[in-house]
Amino acid sequence: MPLRQPRPAPAAGSSGPRDRLDAADPAERRRAAQALAGQPRAVPRLGARLAIETDRAVRAALLDALVAIGSDTALGAVTALLTAEEPGARAAAFEAIARIEDARAVTLLLPLLDDAAADRRVHGLTALADRRDPLLVARLMRLLGEETDANVCAAAADLLGRQGDAAARPALLRLKARFRAEPFLQFATDAALARLAEA
């Protein structure tokens, strides 16, 4: 049996892709992220870098790598970016989430609807736009019965109307009665009811 040849020792000063995620050169960070795509053990480092990355190309490579890995932890790092202060970071997260199939995306995004910050609840609802899932219908109906922020209610009503489930009609009517003094919410609720009638 032939002897296995030992692997050559890394050259002095060399580093692996995980270490290069923190390189000063954005191009180096981008190449490191690309090299880590499909490596589940790299998820903690990829997620940590994503949370602080400001370069668009590097951020896109980090998101691609995490989506390619596809574990709950990896995709959780992607959805966490939806709460970022920078609009560009949130937009990049929305684009990445659009590549995740419905059932996984709904499961990952539903916890955002329980966030203490109303704007983050809106971000979660926006990310769920055009998703259809029975779990989503039940959660949205509960949200409409509990939510006090009019903007969140409007986003939830719009999404609920897109589900095409007639069982949502009573929840929408109760919302309409509860926010009689909010014209824009009346409009959003009427539009959602109209979509249900067409389904």
Listing DSSP states for 54-109 in one string gives: --HHHHHHHHHHHHHH--HHHHHHHHHGGG-SSHHHHHHHHHHHTTS-HHHHHHHH
- Spell out the per-residue pLDDT of the chain, length 199, in tens: 444 544 444 444 446 888 899 999 999 999 999 999 989 999 999 999 999 999 999 999 999 999 999 998 999 999 889 888 898 998 899 889 888 887 888 888 898 899 999 988 998 898 898 888 888 999 999 999 999 999 999 999 999 999 999 999 999 999 999 999 999 999 999 999 999 998 7
Which tokens in the block code for residue 37?
């795509």
Closest CA to 67 of 58, 59, 78: 78
Give 38's DSSP letter: T
* Phi, psi (degrees; rounded to nearest 5) at 37: -60, 130
Alpha-carbon distance of 151 to 179, in angstroms, equals 11
Which tokens in the block code for residue 67?
């989506």
What pTM does this model have? 0.75
- Residue 26, helix vs strand vs coil: helix
Question: What is the full DSSP assignment across 116-130?
Answer: SSHHHHHHHHHHTTT
